[in-house]
Amino acid sequence: MKKLATALTVVLGSLFIASSASAEFFSVSLGVPVSHSFSDPDVVESDGMPSGVFAAAKLPILVGLGYENYNTPIKSDGDLKLNTTMYDLFYLLPIPIINLTIGVGAGTTEFDCATCSQVYDSGTATQVYASLGLPLFVVMDFHVSYRSVNSKIKTKSGSDEYDISGNVAGVGISIGF
């Protein structure tokens, strides 16, 4: 019982005291979206892999700032895309061995086509996300991320509203300094 209590104390102490923040002063992360699925495929459905970038910087004050911009092709008769831009605030949890990040974001979504700007307004988007990073070297990690995005786009007339909420998965790499 005493060995179990000691082991539990060491593990819990490591979780709360040890931090990736103490190992690095500043880190930069770049990633790309690899899939975008929508909550209601009757409203909108993805037509392939999104393109774009996720960029983030973790500051020495334990929080980080991020920027995302990606385009998702939409199944339609024409050339229709969903453009998403987000600004993020995130926190790297103090867990040894892995880099677990949680964050929130806010931004805009808009349909992109020849006549979309005349028919649709830009929508407000919010998200929560998590990223799991596995160290490759002392100063690098490879990470996968999962975002839950909430957004609605209205027509200019205001008569119709489209729920384009969904999930975005991504991969990336982070380098610490």
Supply the CATH number for residue 60's domain.
2.40.160.20
Q: CA 21: distance to chain centroid?
A: 20
Q: How confident is the model at residue 22 (pLDDT cuts 50, 70, 90)?
A: very low
Residue 78 has pLDDT above 90, yes or no: no
Q: Report residue 130's pLDDT band, with 50, 70 and 90 as the boundaries.
A: very high
pLDDT digits (tens, 9 = 90+) for 84-129: 999 999 998 888 889 899 999 999 999 999 999 999 999 999 999 9
| CB distance 46 to 36 below 8 Å | yes
Give the whole-angstrom CA distance, residue 44 versus residue 49: 15
Q: How confident is the model at residue 9 (pLDDT cuts 50, 70, 90)?
A: low
Q: Average pLDDT of 31-58?
A: 95
Query: DSSP for the chain?
Result: -HHHHHHHHHHHHHHHH--GGGT-S-EEEEEEEEEEEES-TTT--B-S--EEEEEEEE-TTSEEEEEEEEEEEE-SSS-EEEEEEEEEEEEE---SSSEEEEEEEEEEEEEESSSHHHHBPPEEEEEEEEEEEEESSSSEEEEEEEEEEEEEEEBTTSS-EEE--EEEEEEEEEEE-
What is the reported pTM?
Answer: 0.82
Going 167 to 171 to 175 to 176, the CA torsion angle's sign is positive
- What's the CA gap between 84 and 32, in Å, rounded? 13
Given pLDDT bands bounded at 50, 70 and 90, which one contains residue 3? Answer: low
Please state, as a whole number, how many other Cβ atoms lie within 10 Å of the Cβ of residue 3. 7
Whether residue 163 is predicted with pLDDT greater than 90 in this model: the reply is: yes
Predicted pLDDT of residue 46: 94
* CA dihedral of 165, 129, 106, 141, whole degrees rounded to 10: -130
Whether the predicted pLDDT of 5 surpasses 90: no
Instruction: Output the pLDDT for position 2.
Output: 59
Question: Which residue shows structure tokens 């005493």?
Answer: 2
- The total number of structural domains in the chain stands at 1
> Average of pLDDT values for 148-168?
94
Instruction: Provide the residue range defining the domain that includes 27.
Output: 2-176
